[in-house]
Amino acid sequence: MITISKAYQKYTSEILDCIENFTKKGTIFVAGSRNTIKLFKIETEVVNIKSFKKPNLINKIAYRYFRKSKARRSYEFASKLIELQIGTPKPIAFYEKFDLIGLKESYYACEHLENVFEFRAIVQNEDFENREEIIRQFIRFTSFMHREGVEFLDHSPGNTLIRKERDGSYSFFLVDLNRMKFHKNIDFQTRMKNLSKITHKKEMIVTMSNEYAKITGEDESLIFTTLWKLTSDFQYRFHRKKRIKKKLKFWKK
């Protein structure tokens, strides 16, 4: 079953062909251990199609009867972001294939963005051109997202794409959208937690706190103290989890 946005319904047969022949056609863009992304040319457009990992037995049933698939959530959340004027690649379609048990395969198709880089590059490269200005514009983007009630649960440095525009400004686009919550209002602690996965670098958090305080009028010292603690807590859990996985791999050898 395929659902296609109105703007792309004239390409229904082409998109369906790309999905049904996903393993045979297209150019690999990301070959992950869980999900694979391929690029397909449809007339003058490049379409980005993500094939989600086939679910295990429990999730096969869950995605049929109890919760929406990752592909469907990605499409619906992207549509909601577009409605709120929050940057994300334009959603094109989602596809779900079921068998007697439940969900067998799922795909999400969206616009492919050219000339972009991940926010991760800003974290890793302290000499990145206009680095501080990009950080500040990113915080303006995130603050707007929070004002609109959007809690992006995977708000990490690899899930925001950035494009430099001709006028020198920067545009920001959220990707990997299947985990989101929408609120009327987001409390302070939740907003700070939402920023805690962005960077482990203290100097960046100082800049982020300063800009966030300018926009919201909230106390800069409180923002920094809260964000730095939540970031430190996240980093501790993250590295502890990595150490545990490393030990488990050692014992499996």
The tens digit of pLDDT for each residue in 140-176 reads: 999 999 999 999 999 999 999 999 999 989 999 999 9
Structure tokens at 184: 């009327």
DSSP type of residue 170: E
Q: Nearest-CA neighbor of 59 among 71, 47, 48, 50? A: 71
Q: Can you say whether the dihedral through the CA atoms of 235, 238, 244, 245 is positive or negative?
A: negative
What count of other Cβ atoms lies within 10 Å of the Cβ of residue 71? 24
pLDDT, tens digit, 9 for 90 and up, residues 61-101 = 999 889 999 999 999 999 999 999 999 999 999 999 999 89
The Cα–Cα gap between 79 and 3 comes to 12
Q: Nearest-CA neighbor of 83 among 34, 148, 24, 164? A: 148
Find all residues with CB under 8 Å of 12, minimum gap 6, and list them.
2, 4
The Cα–Cα gap between 227 and 99 comes to 45
Q: What integer is the mean pLDDT of 168-197?
A: 95
Judged against a pLDDT cut of 90, whether residue 248 lies above it is answered with no
DSSP type of residue 66: T
Q: How confident is the model at residue 235 (pLDDT cuts 50, 70, 90)?
A: confident
DSSP type of residue 214: H
The Cα–Cα gap between 106 and 1 comes to 10
Q: Which spans in 196-219 are helix H?
A: 202-216
Q: What is the pLDDT of residue 107?
A: 97
* Angle of CA points 109, 19, 45, to nearest 5°: 50
Q: What is the pLDDT of residue 243?
A: 66
Judged against a pLDDT cut of 70, whether residue 247 lies above it is answered with no
Judged against a pLDDT cut of 60, whether residue 251 lies above it is answered with no
Residue-averaged pLDDT of the chain = 92
Q: Nearest-CA neighbor of 38 among 70, 30, 88, 15? A: 30
The number of angstroms, rounded, from the C-alpha of 85 to the middle of its chain's C-alpha atoms is 16
